[in-house]
Amino acid sequence: MHIPFWLTTALLFPVLLYQGKRARKNTPRLPEAQGVPSGQYGEGLPDLRLLVIGESTAAGVGVSSHEQGLASQLALQLQERTGQTVSWYTFGVNGIRMDQLNRKLASMELPQADVVLLSMGVNDTTGFTPRYRFRRQLLALRDMLAPRYPGPVYLLSVPPMHLFTALPSPLRHIIGWRARQLNRVYEQLARQAPGDFQYRGYPAITDASLLASDGYHPSDRGYRAIAEVLAGDNWLPDQPRP
């Protein structure tokens, strides 16, 4: 148990509860992206198949079409940099937590993929999911995906929520503190089991022009900026798995 965090949260609870209710009331709730959640850049059979799963960023909240979202923009960047044909598919649910995502994926027929990128953590942060439970749910996800996706699951860093100007202080700082705790779970898993998990971070989005109208989610330029950073990393396999 992280005693300083929970003690601070308990002492500030009345303020945090009030600010949380106000933030939910005043922050616009943007819809998920529309359109077909899959596509391809390049001709012929794909050399690389990308699957993105998770919460609002995987669902494309902040843009109108999935083609503007993270999976599509990352596939485009990879295709432009490598010249390979890259296909993409994204599945996300706005507001979902890790345990809920696991239950949904267990009943789904996901497409074949060579790379699986997980974008989660914000809702488990705001929902104060215990770290031990978050870790256990990540391991359960890995076990569930292993038969079809034997390579590592790539963990996209939890956003630095202490920089979310749509949230007031001290709520923003408490939530940011919690986000860093869950992000460390990602980093620890990647260090301890690199064959099962790989961690991938990106710089905080502080430029307002990269944010959607809610000041919370990336805009189309924001998703493109994240994709550019991720595509620059040498974290994709040289050859697709059979």
C-alpha triplet 4, 10, 29: angle, nearest 5°? 105
User: With the C-alpha atoms ordered 49, 135, 193, 142, is the resulting torsion angle positive or negative?
Assistant: negative
pTM of the model: 0.90
**C-alpha closest to that of 68 among 230, 240, 212, 239:** 212
Q: Which residue has the higher pLDDT, 226 or 237?
A: 226
24 has pLDDT over 60? yes
pLDDT of residue 166: 73
* Tokens linked to 64: 């109108």
Q: What CA–CA distance (Å, rounded) separates 102 from 147?
A: 15
Q: Which residue has the higher pLDDT, 183 or 3?
A: 183
pLDDT in tens, 85-125: 999 999 999 999 999 999 999 999 999 999 999 999 999 99
pLDDT of residue 8: 74
Q: Which residue has the higher pLDDT, 167 or 94?
A: 94
Tokens 């359960």 belong to which residue?
A: 140
- CA dihedral (206, 209, 212, 215) in degrees, to 10, reads 40
Percent of the chain having pLDDT more than 90? 63
User: What are the structural domains of the chain?
Assistant: 40-231 (3.40.50.1110)
| Preceding omega of 170 cis (within 30 degrees of 0) | yes
Q: 181: which residues sit within 8 A by CB, 6+ positions away?
A: 2, 5, 131
Q: What is the mean pLDDT of residues 10-22?
A: 70
- What is the chain's Cα-based Rg? 18
Strands 48-54 and 86-92: parallel
Measure CA of the first residue to CA of the last residue in the chain; give whole Å.
Answer: 43
Secondary structure of residue 57 in the 3-state scheme: helix
Give the distance, in angstroms, between the CA of residue 86 and the centroid of all CA atoms in the same chain: 20
Which segment of 27-36, 63-72, 140-149, 206-215 scores lowest on mean pLDDT?
206-215
| Preceding omega of 159 cis (within 30 degrees of 0) | no
* Tokens linked to 122: 């914000």
Predicted confidence band of residue 1 (pLDDT cuts 50, 70, 90): low
164 has pLDDT over 80? no
* Tokens linked to 1: 């148990």
Tokens 């998920």 belong to which residue?
A: 32
Tokens 């079809």 belong to which residue?
A: 148
